[in-house]
Amino acid sequence: MDKKALEALLNDMSTEEKVMQLVQIPGSEYEASAEITGIERGQVKDNVKKLAGSTLGIWGSKRLRKIQEQYIKEHPHHIPLMFMLDVIHGHKTVLPCPLGQGATFDPDAVKKGAEMQAQEASADGVHATFSPMADLCRDARWGRIMESTGEDKILNSRMATAMVEGYQGDDLKDSDHIAACVKHYAAYGAAEAGRDYNNTELSEHTLREHYLRAYSEAIKKDPSMVMTSFNSVNGIPATGNKFLMKKILREEFGFKGVLISDWGAVGEMINHGFAEDQRDAALKAMQAGVDIDMCSGCYSSSLEDLVNTGAVSMQMLDEAVLRVLNMKNDLGLFEDPYRGIDMDAGPVITDESRNLARETVAASLVLLENKDKTLPLRKEKYAFIGPYADNKKLQSSWAFSGDDKNTVTVWEAAKEVYEPESIKVSAGCTMLDQDTMTARGKRHVDNWEEENSKLMAEAIKAAEWADTVIMCLGEDFAQSGEATSKVSIEIPNVQLNLLKEIKKAGKKIVTLIFTGRPLELNEVRELSDALMICWLPGTEGGHGIMDILTGKVSPSGRLPVSFPYTVGQEPLHYDMYPTGRPRPENGPSAFTSSYLDCENGALYPFGYGLSYTSFEFINPKLSAQKMSDTETITASVIVRNIGDMKGSVTVQLYIRDVTSSRVRPIRELADFKKISLDPGAEEEVSFVINEEMLRFWTAEEKWESEAGKFLVWICNSSRDGQALEFRLI
């Protein structure tokens, strides 16, 4: 439909029809088995159900076609309904959780993963996903860190950008792609005390310098939607925050797409104490530029009256409605309201999608410890012990359209590699301590003590039989994600006790940690000969893990978040600001910025990860020692594989602005490149440093660079490297 036809359609619509295009209702109103049912079925009025512009939480080619046919038939202007779904890290083929994808440091792989997700979701009738999440996350207590790609603005920017490109492709009318939604705007990851939905209090400097960066970069790729966040920002709920939504998002970032609220966020402004009632909430959301009210009922109940009484102008309403109609038009829904739907089979998991998932899993795994080269495994007797040893629940709570039956467990993959007489498996214990609270409620097991006693005895026998034990431990999948804030970030006590008992057998122990957040691993580290983070790896988790354990692939994952010594350090991130009283390198001294009982930095820092081979960084250098704002400097290093196995390494470039009008971080990631080298091979890796990379939010409240000294590191983690120096003149 061309622009004139679309505007003619808008002008012919009644006020009620226009308002309802801005209303999103749960899929449970159309299909009882829809995943998300936050509003009781039947609470939505019939006229809203018939005219609402979009729905969410429902998928399936046959049922969506049936719903669409009925909807278009009953709509006065036969405008198609838009179906949205949380396709966060997979639809049918589930990839590692986003935090795990961040660990790959490979935007190209992440883009391919988003393309695969879009193809599967579109074949199931889905038009738009609520992804990527571009929130900067520095607090392991916050459960939704699992949905981010980490604590660094550059890494998050690259990953969010890659996901938008992968989901949307070059043309949204291509039915192999779906609309992307950059979320949660803004600063949701900075929730006070790591408690979900909580206030965030950030200076404009910190907001602009760190928290807005990934959103702004992703928006340059023209995502169809941006989602408002639940939190308030400096005392103003994001959903009613005109400074964030109009001045920054629309004017500065140039976003022209649809702004959608998160679930119920418009109505929640009443709870915040920012809006008096639903009418007031609808007014303030419209004034902030929110185009779609997701499931709060405020627009459907109040917006038409606000327009009729002049509180909201018809021009404001028309602008919002036109953005929604444009999105539907961009998707080609007016020409084909059934785009992408495969009525014969819907989406299917293919060998190609499994291979992509398997490769991504292997690239995401982060080897933290490997004492005496315990890994890769050799031809011995192995016992796979722990609640994750043969567990199909390897995806997160945000992969609800995936099917557990398609998941390959660690044990299933091990049986493909080893002869039956050389391996054994035992759960060893329950996943959780008794009466543990998760996002899905309290977990209670009848006869919990008796069950764990039995499982422990079986595990000890298996450990005594084996030469090496592979412990498969971690948090339950429902302990990370939305509404899973925690003040304890250790593995469950029942699992730690299992590890201690197995250690008594005196065998080599390889510990695999499944998690959606950084954890305290001090004790686990001491009890393990090798330690690897597996995240929540998804459908091909077992295969990808065994590829690393057996040495088929050398580990190359790097931590996208810092792992603390203790939760008391949170929020924790590598790019901290220097202090006037820095802690000496050789330990604490009186009256310095330090803890009495803990290191300042991370147990395992951002960018850290081991390999089965070794890489030497030779002759790091800069092409010049001075640079004007119109010139560039090339930073380069020769990387050589000095081990005996092929491997990949992420070469990381960090920069520090030494003296400036605002204190700058001790170092910041500026760029990175992942390369693969055969044994003995070497490659020169170079980065171009330009003036734009040196800009920051200055004391003059501007994005500018300032002349002076800069330090540069070319290295393989945020704590490594030899500092080089140049001056911006």
Question: The domain at 615-728 falls in which architecture?
Answer: Sandwich (2.60)
Residue 41: its pLDDT value, please? 45
Nearest to 366 by CA among 526, 515, 586, 194: 515
d(CA 49, CA 71): 9
Residue 37: its pLDDT value, please? 43
H/E stretch holding 373 reads none
H/E stretch holding 709 reads strand 708-715
Query: Exposed, middle or buried: residue 722 (CB in 10 Å: 0-12, 13-18, 19+)?
Result: exposed
d(CA 569, CA 600): 8
pLDDT over 90 (residue 342): no
Reported confidence tier of residue 503, pLDDT bands at 50, 70, 90: very high
Section 433-456 average pLDDT: 95
d(CA 128, CA 133): 14
Tallying the residues shown for the chain, one arrives at 729
Rg of the chain (C-alpha set) = 26
Q: What percent of the chain has pLDDT over 70?
A: 98
> Known catalytic residues?
262
Nearest to 377 by CA among 529, 588, 542, 171: 529
Residue 184: its pLDDT value, please? 98
pLDDT over 70 (residue 354): yes
Strand partners, 715: 652
pLDDT over 60 (residue 40): no
Residue 346: its pLDDT value, please? 75
Section 475-479 average pLDDT: 97
For the segment 602-655, what is each residue's pLDDT rounded down to a tens digit? Answer: 999 999 999 999 999 999 999 999 999 999 999 999 999 999 999 999 999 999
For the segment 190-229, what is each residue's pLDDT rounded down to a tens digit? Answer: 999 999 999 999 999 999 999 999 999 999 999 999 999 9
Phi first, then psi, for residue 318 (nearest 5°) are -60, -40
**Residue 584 vs residue 177, higher pLDDT:** 177
d(CA 136, CA 139): 9
Reported confidence tier of residue 38, pLDDT bands at 50, 70, 90: very low
Name the DSSP letter for residue 727.
Answer: E
pLDDT over 50 (residue 119): yes
| CATH 3.40.50.1700 describes domain 351-563 | yes
For the segment 377-389, what is each residue's pLDDT rounded down to a tens digit? Answer: 998 999 999 999 9
Section 301-313 average pLDDT: 98
Alpha helices in 257-313 (DSSP H): 265-272, 278-288, 298-308
Q: What percent of the chain has pLDDT over 90?
A: 95
For the segment 138-154, what is each residue's pLDDT rounded down to a tens digit? Answer: 999 999 999 999 999 99
Tokens of 151: 């604590």
CA angle (612 as vertex; 469, 147 as ends), nearest 5: 80
Section 263-287 average pLDDT: 98
Residue 36: its pLDDT value, please? 56
Residue 475: its pLDDT value, please? 98
Nearest to 613 by CA among 535, 525, 553: 553
Section 668-683 average pLDDT: 98
For the segment 523-554, what is each residue's pLDDT rounded down to a tens digit? Answer: 999 999 999 999 999 999 999 999 999 999 99
d(CA 30, CA 81): 11
Section 668-689 average pLDDT: 98
In the chain, which segments carry CATH 2.60.40.10? Answer: 615-728
Reported confidence tier of residue 344, pLDDT bands at 50, 70, 90: confident
| Conformational region of residue 351, where left means phi above 0, alpha means psi within -120 to 50, and beta covers everything else | alpha
H/E stretch holding 682 reads strand 682-690
Name the DSSP letter for residue 249.
Answer: I
pLDDT over 70 (residue 67): yes
In the chain, which segments carry CATH 3.20.20.300? Answer: 19-330
d(CA 419, CA 279): 67
Q: Domain 19-330 sits in which CATH superfamily?
A: Glycoside hydrolase, family 3, N-terminal domain (3.20.20.300)
In the chain, which segments carry CATH 3.40.50.1700? Answer: 351-563
Section 409-425 average pLDDT: 98
Q: Lowest-pLDDT range, 63-67, 243-247, 425-429?
A: 63-67
Reported confidence tier of residue 343, pLDDT bands at 50, 70, 90: confident
d(CA 302, CA 306): 6
CA angle (98 as vertex; 92, 104 as ends), nearest 5: 110
